[in-house]
Structure 1
Amino acid sequence: MVLVLNGVIQDERPINTHALFLEHPVYRETATQLLSIPTKTVGAPGLLYVCQREMAAVAPHDRNVNIIGSDDATTCIIVVVRHSGSGAIALAHLDGNGTDEAVSAMVARVQELAFGYPEGRIELQLIGGFSDPQGYAEDLFSNIMRVRQIV
């Protein structure tokens, strides 16, 4: 796969968040906008909640799921993999355990759910991972970006 960030094909993956924000300051601005959105409590019907160390994937026409989500990502990173043509989506709440396997499984499952949709690309979104003194979130970001199926 080809890695495209902010519409620009990348020769290399960003090695850390500092490099990512330096090359693409729009991501820092987008993160600030996301943080400014008030939280919303969602009721159980139609909600698929993903806990830490869990992953779920759904097709857009799933009658049982209207919202897929997670919360409380401090040093954890919530990873979203989406097929732009079909709307198939996978979400995981990663803490550093089994990162390679989880991201690989997410990409594979989204590709399975998108079968039959010729148009579309695999999109990756990362949420969470605050800057902690021990560097856990930074290590997790680097591990996610090293997963072969992403690029």
Structure 2
Amino acid sequence: MIYVDGVLFPDENSSSSLSSSSQGSSLLLDVMTHSVIISASDSFKNLEEQRVTESSTKDRYVYIFQREYAVVNPALVDFVGMDEATTCVGLVIRNRKSGVTSIAHMDSPEVVDLGISQMLSLVMEDDSDAAELDVHMVGGYEDVDLKNATGGDDYAKPEGYSFPLCCKLVESLQKRREKIHIQTLFILGHNTKLDAQGNTCPIFNGFLVNTSTGTIVPASFNRSSRCPDELVRRIRVSASFDDPSWKGKLLDTYDTKTDRFIIAPCSWTMRLVEYVWELNQLPDEEILVNCSTSPSAEGPDFIDNERRIWKYLLKYPEWSKTFPKRQPRVFERTANGSWNFVF
């Protein structure tokens, strides 16, 4: 159940209906045009983007990559965040009573239903019907003309990438029995600007959540603060598409109770390694076209990140070298806030 400004949504004045999933686009647009959501988007847009570096992370941080999620306890973690979202969407779900906060970097409608269930697994208390949940969404932009978007069951590519994902997110949240209060919906048109060449691109690509207060601000991270185990976690995004154990799921990454990163194993095939070898021969401009859903909106380090991933895969083509006996990679937080590889 979705609430906006404390009122169950949609109300009798809304054009959307839950009688069919084809109404997902109407539901999304109704929520986005609600006066409270517009006001919240305007306020978020006027916030200064916080830049997180390793030297600035004196507090206890948790960072997630694409297709990952994490549920954090405010007693153990001060801030949780993500960035690098273009057509992807960052989703935050926070329990008002306990402060337990879950975030995910959603990249496809296919992972939304199971992904939200994964996110809620440790956010909900015993009396889940009474729990009040605050939700924020940041990311996605108008990568296509939404006037021609129709919603529908298949979330097809002609609608671009951002719009089908946002439709699916709002639709899935609406169908949940939990009380979900939409606080921020900084997506699509709210999160779109023009670059110097006239291309649409996101205003913000990431955010940071204060787990104690629930406050969310725009944020970006540099390479040293996207940790731990950056390269392996990036590789899991591509490898998970061919690993049936992760079909329809978000990638397990962080253990809430122990405040440890437990990077769940993922296998990859020689087909992926061969494909990577071919990609690595391409010039930079072709890498953008072949490897990004938003070539004109990627950050300046996108190509370098891709080449570093490929270099790792070509050096370690057998996944068992990275995940021996298909065991996770475990990292513990040190006294100074960095992460130490355990096994």
- Measured against the shorter chain, the TM-score band is 0.7 to 0.9
Instruction: Tell me how far 1:120 sits from its aligned partner.
Output: 4.1
TM-score (norm 1): 0.81
- Counterpart of 1:126 in structure 2 is 137
- 2:134 is paired with a residue of what secondary structure? strand
Compared CA separation, residues 8 and 31, structure 1 to 2 (3 A): same
In the alignment, which of 31, 34, 45 is matched to residue 35 of structure 1? 45
TM-score (norm 2): 0.38
- 1:98 is paired with a residue of what secondary structure? helix
- Counterpart of 2:270 in structure 1 is none
Aligned partners of 1:140 and 1:119: how far apart in 2? Answer: 28
Aligned partners of 2:177 and 2:62: how far apart in 1? Answer: 24
- 2:169 is paired with a residue of what secondary structure? helix
Instruction: Tell me how far 1:72 sits from its aligned partner.
Output: 2.5
- 2:122 is paired with a residue of what secondary structure? helix
Match for 1:123: what amino acid? D
In the alignment, which of 164, 180, 183 is matched to residue 139 of structure 1? 164
Matches within 5 A, 1:1-150: 2-11=1-10, 12=17, 15-16=24-25, 17-22=28-33, 24-42=34-52, 43-45=56-58, 46-62=60-76, 65-96=77-108, 97-111=110-124, 114-115=125-126, 120-133=131-144, 134-147=159-172, 148-149=175-176
Instruction: Tell me how far 1:41 sits from its aligned partner.
Output: 2.1
- Counterpart of 2:243 in structure 1 is none
State the identity %: 25
Compared CA separation, residues 87 and 119, structure 1 to 2 (3 A): farther
Match for 2:107: what amino acid? D
Compared CA separation, residues 37 and 104, structure 1 to 2 (3 A): same
Which sits farther off after the overlay, 74-83 or 126-135?
126-135
Aligned partners of 2:84 and 2:61: how far apart in 1? Answer: 16
Match for 2:121: what amino acid? A
How many residue pairs match? The answer is: 145
Compared CA separation, residues 144 and 116, structure 1 to 2 (3 A): closer
Match for 1:121: what amino acid? E
CA contact (8 A) 1:49 1:70 kept: yes
Compared CA separation, residues 10 and 122, structure 1 to 2 (3 A): same
Aligned partners of 2:30 and 2:65: how far apart in 1? Answer: 29
Instruction: Tell me how far 1:117 sits from its aligned partner.
Output: 9.9
Aligned partners of 1:73 and 1:150: how far apart in 2? Answer: 28
CA contact (8 A) 2:89 2:137 kept: yes
Aligned partners of 2:9 and 2:44: how far apart in 1? Answer: 25
Larger radius of gyration: 2
Match for 2:5: what amino acid? N
Compared CA separation, residues 150 and 127, structure 1 to 2 (3 A): farther
CA contact (8 A) 1:85 1:117 kept: no
Aligned partners of 2:111 and 2:127: how far apart in 1? Answer: 30
What is the Cα-based RMSD across aligned positions, in Å?
2.5
Aligned partners of 1:40 and 1:135: how far apart in 2? Answer: 29
Compared CA separation, residues 150 and 94, structure 1 to 2 (3 A): farther
Q: Which runs of 5+ in 2 are unaligned?
A: 11-16, 145-158, 179-343
Match for 2:111: what amino acid? G
Aligned partners of 1:28 and 1:117: how far apart in 2? Answer: 29
Greater RCO, CA 8 A, separation 6+: 1
Match for 1:102: what amino acid? G
Instruction: Tell me how far 1:55 sits from its aligned partner.
Output: 0.2
